[in-house]
Amino acid sequence: MKLLKLPVAALAAMLVALPVSQAGANELTIGLASEPSSIDPHFHNLGPNNAVARVMFDRLIMPDDKQRLLPGLAVSWKAIDDLTWEFKLRQGVKFHDGSPFTADDVVFTFQRAPDVEGSPSSFGTYLKGKTITRIDDYTVHIKTERPYPLMPNDMSTFSIVSRKHGEGAKTQDYNSGKATVGTGAYKFVEYVPGDRIVLERNENYWGDKPEWTRVTLKAIKSGPSRVAALLAGDVDLIEQTPTADIERLKNDANLTLSQGISNRVIYLHLDHDRDSSPFVKAKDGGDIKNPLKDQRVRMAISHAINRDAIVSRVMEGIAIKAGQLLPEGFFGRSPNLKPVEYDPALAKRHLSEAGVGDGFKLTIHGPNDRYINDAKIAEAVAQMLTRAGIQTDVVTMPRSVYFKRASRGGPDGTPEFSFILVGWGSGTGEASSPLKSLIHTYDKSRGFGASNRGRYSNAEVDKLIEDALATVDDAKRQDLLARATEIAINDGAIIPLHYQVNTWAARKGIKYRARTDEATVATDVISE
């Protein structure tokens, strides 16, 4: 048994001698659900990357936790004529290395952001069709070919990098930290792919002084492990708290939960296009003329869904039922739309009026790893529709397979499914984003309806959306967007279910300003 002694002794020694790793009062460790793929702020336009970039690099306009546009590196902006926007830049701002921030850095960012080698999803989306001119050190003009009201929104999406460090810099130079010099609240310290990102406070930050001296971001993908890491005190804050654990964590005196509604609406899209839709069948399994093209059937489906039950049972109370594309407080929302009432009798009546009183067969397709409880929501919807006479099957699949099929899995790149569960978060924080992508007629050449997987098409709505996108006056644009939303929703273009509510959990004494854009940002973590 000699063999045994050594390791056992070593184990015992380790168990006794373990240091209790307690971070200092002003240090913060965050457990993230997904890891950024790079530190280069322009490499990949995706949530986790943008959340990390946001604290190291400022933007011209900085959306706050409710996606309201606040002055960032630009102190003011206005349209000086139909085609030109003027941005006044903040003076006296220094990069992390002490070099001054000027209009040159903005001009340089305009060149670099859309054109990063190997970028899987570039910021060109927000920069194309715009030309920037440097007027003086602290003024730039941005010109567009057509009137463009979303300029401030677009300018709030990307990081301004230093020309001095960014010129010729590749993504690797940002990952190594060589070029990672911004004006942001936190400075880059270390990046170990797969493990951690370490940041430290920028003592000379122009804005509110950041609260934490040192911030460590750790990617802990598995939900239960993230919760365990918080319970064990290894991290101070976690994002995407699994809904099943929320009740239990709520009752834990050592923890604080921070919840906030997101800009993401979970909705159903239906086939508005094909006369014979592949996943709609008659009761006996035979072919049937696509009933989803009838507005009454779409409304019947909406009335047959008990949104309160979905929110209280499936989402365990952590969601808010939806009646349109964006929750309260967002620009371009209609004040007149309410969530559709659950009314099975009315649903049945609508169905008989539409000539399908006997019901039909339908398959709902949805992802099972994309939205909170997505597969369960699809199952609940299917049960409710089946009760209303529309016999509904459920098929869910991983998002890696789902989105391709839902977008272009059919013949000639058409959407494959008939009835799908999807979600949409408005990146710009206002209604034109979902209207343009989900509701407007699919028009490849003009870039409309890219995610219109139901191929909804309504000339009146299209006109309103296009007018809105060319109206710089805020009040008029608000009206146009609200009207477009009302017509589309009342026509059953999509059927909104609920808005997602996100939950952050933290050790006692720390709160998170829950962001509507779902990002976890160190500057929004505050101590009580």
Partner 1 sequence: MSVFITRRILQSLVVVFVMSLLVFFGVNIVGDPVDMLINPEADQEDIEAAIRALGLDRPIHEQYWYFLVNALKGDLGKSFIFAEPALKLILQRMPATLELAFAAMFLAVVIGIPLGVFAGLRPHSKVSKTIMAGSILGFSLPTFWVGLMFIMIFAVMLGWLPSTGRGETTSLLGIQVSFLTLDGLSHLLLPALNLALFKMSLVIRLARAGTREVALQDYIKFARAKGLSPSRVVLVHVMKNILIPVVTVLGLELGGVIAFAVVTETVFAWPGMGKLLIDSIQLLDRPVVVAYLMITVLMFIVINLVVDILYSILDPRVRLKDVKS
User: Residue 404 CB, nearest distance to partner 1 (Å)?
Assistant: 4
Angstrom distances, CA of residue 378 to CA of 266, 361, 364, 382: 11, 15, 7, 6
Q: Is 146 in the site for partner 1 (CB under 8 A)?
A: no
- How many residues sit close enough to partner 1 to count as binding (CB under 8 A)? 70
Answer for which of 76, 111, 222, 336 binds partner 1 (CB under 8 A) is 222
Residue whose CB is less far from partner 1, 100 or 124: 124
Closest distance to partner 1 from the beta carbon of 403 (Å):
4
Measure the CA–CA gap between 267 and 421, rounded to whole angstroms: 6
> Residue 76's beta-bridge partner residues?
88
Among 253, 285, 412, 444, binds partner 1 (CB under 8 A): 444
Token pair in block for residue 10: 């070593």
Q: Do 238 and 30 form a contact (C-beta atoms < 8 A)?
A: yes
Which span sits near partner 1 by CB under 8 A: 73-81, 284-292, 441-449, 487-495? Answer: 441-449
Tell whether residue 92 is a contact of partner 1 (CB under 8 A). no
Orientation angle between helical segments 459-468 and 474-490, nearest 10 degrees: 160
- 142 vs 119, 133, 154, 286, CA distance in Å? 24, 6, 12, 57
Q: Going residue by residue from 369 to 408, which x/- string records binding to partner 1, judged by CB under 8 A?
A: x----------------------------xxxxxxx--x-
Q: Alpha helices, DSSP H only, in 155-294?
A: 163-166, 171-175, 223-231, 243-250
The answer to whether 21 contacts partner 1 (rule: CB under 8 A) is: yes
- Which residue in the set 106, 179, 181, 220 belongs to the binding site for partner 1 (CB under 8 A)? 220
Position among 9, 75, 82, 118 found at the interface with partner 1 (CB under 8 A): 118
Q: How far is the CB of 106 from partner 1 (least distance, A)?
A: 22
Q: Which one of 433, 485, 503, 516 is in contact with partner 1 (CB under 8 A)?
A: 433
Closest separation in Å from C-beta 153 to partner 1: 10
**Residue 26 or 121 having the CB closest to partner 1:** 121
Return the residue of 109, 119, 159, 502 that touches partner 1, per CB under 8 A: 119
Q: Which stretch binds partner 1 (CB under 8 A): 94-102, 192-200, 275-283, 466-474?
A: 192-200
* Residue ranges in 449-468 that form contacts with partner 1 under rule CB under 8 A: 450-451
The reply on whether position 35 binds partner 1 by CB under 8 A is yes
18 binds partner 1 (CB under 8 A): yes
Q: Does 148 bind partner 1 (CB under 8 A)?
A: no
Is 417 a binding residue for partner 1 by CB under 8 A? The answer is no
Which of residues 368 and 471 has its CB atom nearest to partner 1 in the complex? 368
- Token output for 471: 């109206």
3-state SS string over 237-262? EECCCCHHHHHHHHCCCCEEEEEEEE
Neighbours of 55 (CB within 10 A): 22
Helical packing angle, 374-387 and 295-304, nearest 10°: 110
> Does residue number 193 form part of the binding site for partner 1 (CB under 8 A)?
yes
Query: Taking the mean position of all CA atoms in its chain, how far away is CA 47?
Result: 7
Least spacing, CB of residue 279 vs partner 1, in Å = 19
Instruction: State the Cα–Cα distance between residues 346 and 336, nearest whole angstrom.
Output: 21
Tell me whether residue 294 or residue 416 sits nearer to partner 1 (CB atom).
Answer: 416
d(CA 301, CA 280): 14
For residue 38, state whether it binds partner 1 (rule: CB under 8 A).
yes
Q: Does 11 bind partner 1 (CB under 8 A)?
A: yes
Distance (Å, whole) CA 424 – CA 438 = 9
Q: Pull the structure tokens for residue 280.
A: 């709609």
Query: Taking contact as CB under 8 A, which single stretch among the options 4-12, 84-92, 304-312, 347-355 is the one that binds partner 1?
Result: 4-12
Q: What is the enclosing helix (H) or strand (E) of 175?
A: helix 171-175
| Closest alpha carbon to 391 in 295, 290, 299, 280 | 280
- DSSP β-bridge partners for residue 18: none
C-alpha–C-alpha distance, residues 247 and 317, integer Å:
10
Task: For partner 1, give the closer residue by CB, 21 or 251.
Answer: 21
Q: Does 178 bind partner 1 (CB under 8 A)?
A: no
Judged by CB, which is closer to partner 1: 355, or 447?
447
Q: Which of 493, 367, 477 is nearest to 428 (CA)?
A: 477
Beta-strand relationship, 84-89 and 139-144 = antiparallel
Cβ proximity to partner 1, 252 vs 491, nearer residue:
252
Instruction: Compare residues 6 and 459 and give the one whose CB is closer to partner 1.
Output: 6
Residues in the chain: 528
Do 266 and 500 touch, CB atoms closer than 8 A?
A: yes
**Going by C-beta distance under 8 Å and a sequence separation of 6 or more, which residues neighbour residue 167?**
108
Of the candidates 367, 374, 321, which has an alpha carbon nearest to the alpha carbon of residue 495? 321
Binding stretches for partner 1 (CB under 8 A): 1-4, 6-7, 11, 14-15, 17-21, 31, 35, 37-38, 43-46, 117-122, 124-125, 171-172, 192-196, 218-222, 224-225, 228-229, 231-234, 369, 398-404, 407, 424-425, 427-428, 433, 437, 444, 447-448, 450-451
